[in-house]
Amino acid sequence: GTRIIYDRKFLMECRNSP
Amino acid sequence: VVVDPFSKHPLQNRWALWFFKNDKSKTWQDNLRLVTKFDTVEDFWALYSHIQLASKLTSGCDYSLFKDGIEPMWEDSWNKRGGRWLITLAKQQRHTELDRFWLETLLCLIGEMFSDYSDEVCGAVINIRAKGDKIAIWTREAENRDGVIHIGRIYKEHLGLSSKVVIGYQAHADTATKSGSLMKNKFVV
């Protein structure tokens, strides 16, 4: 199956989104 | 593509955060508590912003983040054949790098940044100690050389460590039976 991978940039953006 | 602003981003794995507080009147296992579990990026950040930064914990405390179903101890069947990439910090690094290193470690885990070798990862542990703090990524099979080395290389890169810095991987079986000075690295990157 496919693996759900997130890069650092995306994870950090999620931190700052409302 | 319609993006639902209320939807959360699922993680590949559900993760459990554990907290250890050294209370000598209790057993080791009684001092280890499950804080919570999460399986989305948003729930990770909600948890991270809610808990104390590692650098603010008192000496003797640990945080551990492990895949759901794996307990943060050598004895767990997922860990017992494994080992850890260990980062040992100098005392002054608690104020300069500890929190950043720990956050990068957590992001490597939840983002599955070791690609297919991410299945080798069991979790990560941060030990807050007066003599020097430690951070480690635990993997499940110390004999899986390719996976262990790949994880070590990617981890070192994410921490932003210079090529001059060497980090070591130790098998839990060796850590459990040998004292600190006799500790031997199985691999280094």
pLDDT tens readout for residues B67-80: 999 999 999 999 99
* pLDDT at site B48: 97
* pLDDT at site B117: 97
Chain B: nearest CA to A9, how far in angstroms? 10
Q: Which residues of B touch A14 (CB under 8 A)?
A: 9, 41-42, 45
* pLDDT at site B184: 87
**A8 interfaces chain B, CB cutoff of 8 Å:** yes
pLDDT tens readout for residues B135-156: 999 999 999 999 999 999 999 9
Q: Report the C-alpha gap between B64 and B123 in whole angstroms.
A: 7
- Which whole number is the average pLDDT over B26-33? 93
Q: Which residues of B touch A15 (CB under 8 A)?
A: 45
Query: For residue B3, is pLDDT > 90?
Result: no
Q: Are B122 and B67 in contact (CB under 8 A)?
A: yes
Closest to A5 (Cβ–Cβ): which among B42, B113, B158?
Answer: B113
Q: Identify residue B103 by its one-letter amino acid code.
A: L
If you search the block for the tokens 């017992």, which residue do you land on? B80
Bigger pLDDT: B174 or B84?
A: B84
Closest to A3 (Cβ–Cβ): which among B9, B12, B104?
Answer: B12
Chain B: nearest CA to A1, how far in angstroms? 11
